[in-house]
Amino acid sequence: MPIAPFSRMKTSKRHRQIMALINQFAGRPAPLASTRWKNTFAQLYAISAILLGIIHLTTGSMLILIFVFTVISLIGAGFLMKGNPRYSDFFIFLLSAYSGYAALLMKAILAQPLQQNLMVPVQSAAYLFIGFCSITSCAIAADLIVGSRQSPIGARIETPVFMRNALIPLFIMGFATRILHVLFNPSIKDGADIGSGFGGFGTFEFILSLACVILLRLYSLRRTSPYGATIIIVMVAIAILSVITNTKKNILDFALLGVVSVYAFDIKVKPRVLTLFGLLMATVILFISPAIHLMRTGFRDMTVMERITGMYTLIEQHGFSPAALSVAEGAFMKNFTYSYNEYGSYIYPDAQNIDRFSLILPIDQVARGLDSMGTMGVSPFFEEIGESVMPSVLIDKDPETGPDLIAWKYSIRANTSIARPVIGFTASSLAAQGLLGVICLPWLLLLPFFVFSNYFFGNIKGRVFGVFVVAIAFQMVEKEIDQVIPFVFRTGPVIILTVLIFLRMFSRQIRIGKFAL
């Protein structure tokens, strides 16, 4: 007889039955529908990458770039098609998009050859491919090391008692920590450190993502109107949060969680929900995103209400026209002369802010300066790792990070300007130790990260913790060598400890008379 997830029964008996059901579910193959959906997406991804490669044969693109970008995309599709993927598999898929597929797509839309805006395209393609293969080998090794083992914490999170009791408190804490992080974080304005602050709230930004995954999991288990309405309310609240914090990360995190949850939890999306989601994303892309960029220079001096009203006024001044906002955003981005020039932007003369999705550009920017400026060594990056891991009471911390140091040395950004550009793991490895770093540093730094994530967060399919870590570590594909280890020694343990505290607080049933909530 199927077990109703929210049936009222004695706590101990219910927990035993649910745990048995979860353990059974964790070990069984993915349902046929979700496997077919995943395979179809991966196949479309692979086929479209091949078609884009063929298109680039007509744009005058170099054959080596077409080959490297297409092969990287196909490898990423293969990792996505695994029967029971873990975080390292999803990482390789995302890395393939950043390293190959996105460049194929962007350049095809803009009708630009793949080598345009690159100074050493052949050398850069070689570094990109070698780095991708090294990182892929680490993901395979992590999968072999961890095997089928995974932490029992994930199963405990999925008990309905915990998810129901924790949902609202987690949302309150999640929204609060993200707002407090922006209000009290040390300020950077126009590329300079302008004041001290407290950055500790940023450590707990993950709480909001965990609450979103739990909400989506509850909806998948019991598709009732209260959970569906809550999803819509959360979507609107996150859009407002993005306005307050002047960042698109909140919306992108929720969108990513939604997409992965549809696959992981076998959610059948209703047309009206899909329509509302589409409207929200269109609003973000056409209105909120350009307005965020246009408000970026002065938003820190505004109160919360001034940020909300200021964005509305800005959109109103442009006649609620996406075209007018896009033109204004393009003019604004052209002011950044270091990033808007022939060899500072991969899509120049187009001014769209999408360079971060083409990791070959920072590789080229580093490679072109190796002969004249040499490598940096690993010492500066290990110093940054120490600053990230150790609390500020034990070590003095500088506002700049690894990508800033690389950007200054290779003239990617103005010297001493704290811009934290996207450099990526391969480019930062190249800056640290040249080709040797590209080959070896993934094994030293990324392999422990993959092993940690695969074990503690487990499978993505059907698991709350697995879906949760995808959003938390999504931007790791953009990170540099000094940004990965701090996740293993600081962010990851903080997440696990916080979750254990939440489990202690919210795993008991709340009883009112004879009824269990």
Annotate 253-319 with DSSP letters as a single string.
Answer: HHHHHHHHHHHHTT----HHHHHHHHHHHHHIIIIIHHHHHHTTTTGGGS-HHHHHHHHHHHHHHTT
* pLDDT value of residue 28: 39
Give, as one character, the DSSP assignment of residue 97: I
* pLDDT value of residue 112: 92
- Specify the higher pLDDT residue, 32 or 71: 71
* pLDDT value of residue 24: 42
* Radius of gyration over every alpha carbon of the chain, rounded to an integer in angstroms: 23
Q: Nearest to residue 430, comparing CAs of 358, 346, 374? A: 374
* pLDDT value of residue 17: 47
Contact 139, 487 (CB under 8 A): no
Distances in Å between the Cα of 133 and the Cα atoms of 204, 367, 425 are 33, 18, 13
Q: Give the rounded percent of residues in the chain with a pLDDT score beyond 90.
A: 27
Please give the distance of CA 355 from its chain centroid, rounded to a whole number: 16
Alpha-carbon gap, residue 89 to 136, rounded angstroms: 9
- For 449-472, what is the mean pLDDT? 86
Q: Nearest to residue 238, comparing CAs of 197, 260, 208? A: 208
Q: Nearest to residue 456, comparing CAs of 491, 505, 415, 421? A: 491
DSSP sequence for 23-57: HHHHHSPPPHHHHHHHHHHHHHHHHHHHHHHHHHH
- For 101-127, what is the mean pLDDT? 93
pTM strictly above 0.85: no
Is residue 158 helix, strand or coil?
coil
Q: Is the pLDDT of residue 512 over 60?
A: no
Predicted confidence band of residue 508 (pLDDT cuts 50, 70, 90): low
Predicted confidence band of residue 425 (pLDDT cuts 50, 70, 90): very high
**Phi (first) and psi of residue 273, to 5 degrees:** -65, -40
Count of other CB atoms within 10 angstroms of residue 201 = 18
* pLDDT value of residue 296: 73
Mean pLDDT is lowest, of 309-313, 396-400, 457-461, 506-510, for 506-510
Alpha-carbon gap, residue 226 to 112, rounded angstroms: 48
Q: Nearest to residue 162, comparing CAs of 504, 495, 423, 496? A: 504
Q: Is the pLDDT of residue 198 over 70?
A: no
Cα of first residue to Cα of last residue in the chain, in angstroms, is 22
